[in-house]
Each structure stands twice: as C-alpha cells, then as structure tokens.
Amino acid sequence: GRKRKAPGKNSTEENSQPAEAAEAEETQQEQPEKEKEKETRPGVSLVAYRPFFRELDVEVLSVLQCGLLSRSLLDSELHTKVR
C-alpha cells in the first residue's frame, strides 16, 4: 500500500507558508520601483515576434501600440471598420 507522510513533513510545509507571505510583502514594497521602470521603458517591438504570429496579421496587432480603441470605432461585432 501507500505510505503516509510523516508528521514532520507537514510541519515544514506550514513553516514555509509564512516565508512565502514575507516574500509577497517584499515584492509589494518593490512594486513602486518597478512601476517607475515601466514608465521609462519604450513599447514592445512586434517585429521580433513576427514568426510567432503565423496566421495573425501584424497590422491588427499594431492596435496594441496605439492604445485602447473607443467603442465608437467598433461595429456591432466589436470589429474595426475596413478602410
């Protein structure tokens, strides 16, 4: 049959949880610094990912570089109008 876990293993798992919580708190404190870094970084270049898009059209994905679309630019099926 299967062997049961020793009680000592369970106590180590419980001890590791507070350590993980402490790490989470540290990452929350570091977030403002990371946000500052994000503001100064330029946008992602889609050219490097061109081989991975396959059937996707890179021109459609350029919307990501422009920002969000307003609903007024979209038709009833949430597609942009063809020019």
pLDDT at residue 6, as a whole number:
58
User: What ranges do the domains of the chain cover?
Assistant: 7-73
Chunked into runs of 10 residues, the chain (83 residues) has average pLDDT values of 56 45 47 52 74 69 63 67 62
pLDDT at residue 47, as a whole number:
80
For the chain, give the DSSP string. -PPPPPHHHHHHHHHHHHHHHHHHHHHHHHHHHHHHHHHHSPPPPGGGGHHHHTTS-HHHHTHHHH-PPPGGGB-TTS-BPP-
pTM: 0.17
